[in-house]
Amino acid sequence: MSTATLTIDLDAIVANWRALNALTGCETGAVVKADAYGLGAARVGRALMRAGARSFFVAVAEEGAALRQALGPAPAIHVFSGHMAGDTDMIGDLDLIPLINSLEQMIRHVEGLPGHPFGIQLDTGMNRLGMEPGEWAALRDIALGQAPRLVMSHLACADEPDHPMNAQQLQTFLDITDGIDAPLSLSNTGGILLGPEYHFDLTRPGIGLYGGLPHADARPVASLEIPVIQCRNIEPGESVGYGNSFVTEEPRRIATISAGYADGVIRAMGPKALVFAGDEACPLAGRISMDMMGVDITHLSKDPKTLDLLGPHQGVDDVAGYAGTIGYEILTSLGARYARRYIGG
């Protein structure tokens, strides 16, 4: 088999959720948008539910519908994009909680699904989603009269603890939620790590569950083992891969492995990336192709059967560093072609 194997450690996800939960005195939710950051929302959701998670968050109603089928009727499933045109039946039938982010959505919700649960999303400076303070001031009494399940906002700079934006958004959130008795939520993973004043009633960790920064103490969750398809010797002056970008000055042994940019091995990481044969690091040789890449294995004592891109020696943030991106993008880029293997849970 030449398909690479992505192993997802559900016990590590549960341990990471518990570790974040232990940092707060409030409820800990779980963000499972984008198929749980590429790791499988149904499997991840079920494992977290068994561990005690009761509140889940997704980006769009379709994700919420799929999650409801996987988790059954018990947990609360919140939708960040709120109540969009065309979503009314799905929100109603599958008991989703839209996080209403504008007056227009509020009207759509109360007209389309009178009495159906909803939450409120407020903008505190990120200018991405949520009602602006002025819009909220006009709507506040009407919305609070309908008993929202949650009132939330989102931090723009939570992964930079010293950034003044954090305190500024916290103060804005305190101001615009003053006197509200609905449950409040402000923090993603980074917000949890900022300290108790950011926790409120419910936290919304995502990346910290999946082993990524800023949850530096997280247990690694994903490992990726890529089969070697072929090995060959090359002589001085010979090149490897498209564009002849790698030309050797001495004899080398090159392995061709079965994953490429179509599998989320971002092409831009090319010249810097390493893969591992057990404990031994091996540099890539030449450009990353769509389905394959070359690896310099000259220093290994024997040809490996597989090489690891993600594993004990290299996590999602290391790999992100090669491409100048973040662990979130590495995880959500993980290809659909991988055989996914779950352990634990």
Measured between its terminal Cα atoms, the distance across the chain in Å is 26
Q: Which residue, 122 or 284, is less far from ligand PLP as judged by CB? A: 122
106 is in an annotated binding site: no
Pairing of strands 5-9, 222-234: antiparallel
Q: Does 24 bind ligand PLP (CB under 6 A)?
A: no
Q: Does 234 bind ligand PLP (CB under 6 A)?
A: no
Show the site string, 62-91: x = touches ligand PLP by CB under 6 A, - = not: ------------------x-----------
Show the site string, 141-180: x = touches ligand PLP by CB under 6 A, - = not: -------------x--------------------------
Q: Does 20 bind ligand PLP (CB under 6 A)?
A: no
DSSP alpha helices (H): ranges in 256-315?
Answer: none
Q: Does 203 bind ligand PLP (CB under 6 A)?
A: no
Longest Cα separation, the chain: 77
Q: Which residue, 75 or 205, is less far from ligand PLP as judged by CB? A: 205
**Secondary structure (3-state) at 293:** strand
Amino acid at 132: E
Q: Which window, 60-68, 198-206, 276-284, 314-322, contacts ligand PLP (CB under 6 A)?
A: 198-206
Query: Is 204 within 8 Å of 31 (Cβ atoms)?
Result: yes
CA neighbor of 4 nearest in space, from 226, 222, 223, 221: 226
Q: Has 322 been annotated as catalytic?
A: no
Per-position DSSP letters for 201-244, written without gaps between them: TEE--SGGGTT-TT-TTPPP-EEEEEEEEEEEEE-TT-EESGGG
Which residue has tokens 């903008």? 123
- Minimum CB separation of residue 162 from ligand PLP in Å reads 17
Per-position DSSP letters for 121-186, written without gaps between them: EB-SS--SSSB-HHHHHHHHHHHHHT--S-EE---SSTTSTT-HHHHHHHHHHHHHTTT--S-EE-
Q: Has 33 been annotated as catalytic?
A: yes
Q: Does 208 bind ligand PLP (CB under 6 A)?
A: yes
Q: Which window, 1-9, 40-48, 185-193, 331-339, contacts ligand PLP (CB under 6 A)?
A: 185-193
Q: Candidates 40, 205, 270, 304: give the one binding ligand PLP (CB under 6 A).
A: 205
204 is in an annotated binding site: no
Q: Which residue, 213 or 269, is less far from ligand PLP as judged by CB? A: 213
Residues identified as active-site? 33, 242
> Interface residues with ligand PLP (CB under 6 A)?
31, 33, 80, 154, 188-190, 204-208
